[in-house]
Amino acid sequence: MGAYPSPERGNEAVASEIGKHGDDGPGRNPGAPKMWFDAVLHPHRSLPPAGFLVLMILLSGVSFVTGVAFLMLGAWPVFGFFGLDVLLVYLAFRINYRSGRIYETVTLTESELEIRRIDPSGTTKRWTFQPYWLRIHIDDPPGYDSELTISSHGRSLVIGSFLGPDEKLDLARALAAAVARIKRAEPA
């Protein structure tokens, strides 16, 4: 899909179905299996890096001015606590942005559904499922605690746990439609 993990992107889920009958486009490798579905899932981050910079500048400025006021009143330890507050807010946001670098790819071909989960350190975990026996389950309507579960042959996997309820439902419907198209295309 050409989407790369980045907290700067600020998007939630990036999903696209590849054509009605697979990827037969001009750039496709003739030996590669047809791709029926391809999605890259990213967690949502509501504060872009530019907003984070503005927030930290404002927080630092307010904390410094207030700290100096307390320092002038003789309450010098308060000045250090204001600096500590700014440091803790900064660290909390850095941890949040790091966790936002996780992403998942969902790729469906005629022969397999491949899920890859790439964590913030770059470690990749890969699962494959046979599409003809695939079951996709999500509550309808989904809630915030609903899970999008892929299962086949006694194995199951929760995907898109960082997505919102509507995004999970959209992903489940799009993936189910792509699986149904593969099943219809297979000769009996």
Provide the CA 23 distance to its chain's centre, in angstroms: 24
Domain boundary among the residues 60, 80, 99 is at: 99
Q: Do 53 and 41 share a structural domain?
A: no
162-188 residue pLDDT tens = 999 999 999 999 999 999 999 887 654
143-165 residue pLDDT tens = 888 999 999 988 999 999 999 99
Q: Which residue has the higher pLDDT, 135 or 29?
A: 135
7 lies in some domain: no
pLDDT at 35 over 70: yes
Q: Do 164 and 114 share a structural domain?
A: yes
Which residues make Cβ contacts (< 8 Å) with residue 151, sequence separation at least 6? 129, 134, 135, 137, 157
Domain span including residue 83: 49-99
Q: Do 111 and 76 share a structural domain?
A: no
Query: What integer pLDDT is reported at residue 73 of this predicted model?
Result: 93
Query: What integer pLDDT is reported at residue 1 of this predicted model?
Result: 33
Q: Do 156 and 121 share a structural domain?
A: yes
Q: What is the CATH number of the domain that holds 174?
A: 2.30.29
pLDDT at 30 over 70: no
For the record, the structure tokens of 143 come out as 């809630």
pLDDT at 45 over 90: no
Q: Do 55 and 79 share a structural domain?
A: yes
164 lies in some domain: yes
